Every structure is written in C-alpha cells, then in structure tokens.
C-alpha cells in the first residue's frame, strides 16, 4: 500500500510497503502535481497451452535487426494473446506470415530435439531477452549444444520438449500447441529451469 503525507512547502513523503519514499511537491515541479500509483501485481497463469497466431507486423521478415523492446509491438501482441485465449489457450505462439515460429507476446520460446536446444533466430525481429540469453548460456554450461535459425511450426511440434521463459515467469515445459499434445516428459526443461531459478536467486 502507498501512503502519501504532504509536508507543507517541503517535499512530500510516502511509504511503500513500510519503506519511506521522498516525493517532490507541486512547487518544486513548477506547480505540477506528481502522482504515484501502485497496483496489485497481475496473477500470471503458468503457460501450458499455446495457440499459434499470425504476427503480420513482423514484415518483411529478415530486413531489420532484433527488436529493442517488446513495447514496439505491445498492442498487436496483446491482440494475439486475446485471440489465443478465445481459442482456449493460455497465450499465443506468434508465427510470421511465412509460417516461421517467432516468440510469445511476452516470452521467449525454445525447444529440445535430440538433446539439442533450439531457438528462433533474433534476426527475425525478436527481442534479445535476458531470460533467453541466460537459458542458452546455462545450456552451454551444461554441455548441451544449441542452435538458432528459422523454423516452421511443424519443427516445433516434432520437438521432444517445448519451453517458454520470461523475466517474470519460470522456465516451464508446454503441454500443447493448438490441438497438438506435446511430450509429457521434459527432463532438459526441468534441468534448465532449476539452473535458471538458482541463477535468479543468486542475482
């Protein structure tokens, strides 16, 4: 909870979860009023099922570098998420008009095939997220080979394990994409998830 207490002409003070926070007054900001809002963090559903959704804003594929931030396509990404949820999935798996697998609206997608970790190439216009980089670093530290490239949905559906990762979610194995069930055993995902959790605790 945020509690604000004005202090005359001096800077106001607020407490956030019991910790004091200094706020500037209107006079100090040229008569403007500074407002701080705090909301309850959203409940994030653990991803189990994705619905493949078109990403027509990734156009044309391969003609620009990796995106700097997901805010560059936030609106279309949220539209894809809502479409996926209407289809009965937890979220969307974004696919280019050429049929190339990209990423999720707010998470990276990787998979395992024959003991190798596979991920879509960043030059498809993807975000070079910290969680993605960390997972690939951990895979290399475990002696697991990894590769990036351009892959179609059929390549993902044929994987031994499919995993998602973001800064606000743990690394988890998916159970299905569209109506296609995925393998129930995901030992590499479990190993990487444990290592990722340990890295985050140590940070």
Domain coordinates of the chain in residue numbers?
A: 1-39, 49-202
- Kindly report the pTM of this predicted structure: 0.74
Quick: pLDDT tens for 31-61.
Answer: 555 555 555 545 567 899 999 999 866 665 6
And the tokens for 35? 């407002």
Question: Percentage of the chain surpassing pLDDT 90?
Answer: 58
Distance between CA atoms of residues 122 and 103, nearest Å? 10
Chain-centroid distance, C-alpha 123: 17
Q: What is the bridge-based pairing of β-strands 161-166 and 169-173?
A: antiparallel
Sheet of 2-5: strands edge to edge? 2-5, 12-16, 19-23
**Nearest residue to 93 via CA among 160, 169, 151:** 151
Cross-strand bridge partners of residue 173: 163
Q: Which CATH class is domain 49-202?
A: alpha beta
User: What is the DSSP-derived secondary structure letter of residue 71?
Assistant: G
Residue 75's pLDDT is 78
pLDDT band (50, 70, 90) for residue 126:
confident
């Amino acid at each position: 909870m945020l509690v604000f207490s004005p202090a005359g002409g001096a800077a106001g003070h607020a407490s956030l979860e019991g910790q004091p926070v200094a706020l500037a007054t209107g006079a100090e900001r040229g008569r403007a009023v500074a407002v701080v809002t705090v909301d309850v963090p959203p409940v994030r559903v653990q991803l189990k099922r994705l619905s493949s959704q078109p990403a027509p804003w990734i156009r044309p594929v391969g003609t620009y570098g990796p995106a700097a931030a997901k805010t560059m396509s936030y609106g279309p990404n949220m539209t894809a998420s809502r479409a996926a949820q209407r289809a009965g999935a937890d979220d969307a798996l974004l696919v280019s008009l050429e049929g190339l697998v990209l990423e999720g609206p707010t998470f990276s997608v990787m998979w395992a095939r024959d003991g190798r970790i596979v991920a879509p190439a960043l030059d498809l216009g993807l975000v070079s997220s910290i969680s993605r980089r960390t997972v690939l670093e951990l895979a290399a530290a475990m002696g697991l080979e990894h590769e990036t490239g351009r892959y179609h949905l059929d390549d993902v559906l044929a994987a031994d394990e499919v995993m998602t990762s973001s800064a606000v979610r743990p690394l988890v194995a998916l159970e299905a994409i569209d109506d296609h069930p995925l393998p129930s055993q995901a030992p590499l995902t479990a190993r990487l998830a444990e290592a990722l959790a340990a890295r985050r605790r140590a940070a």
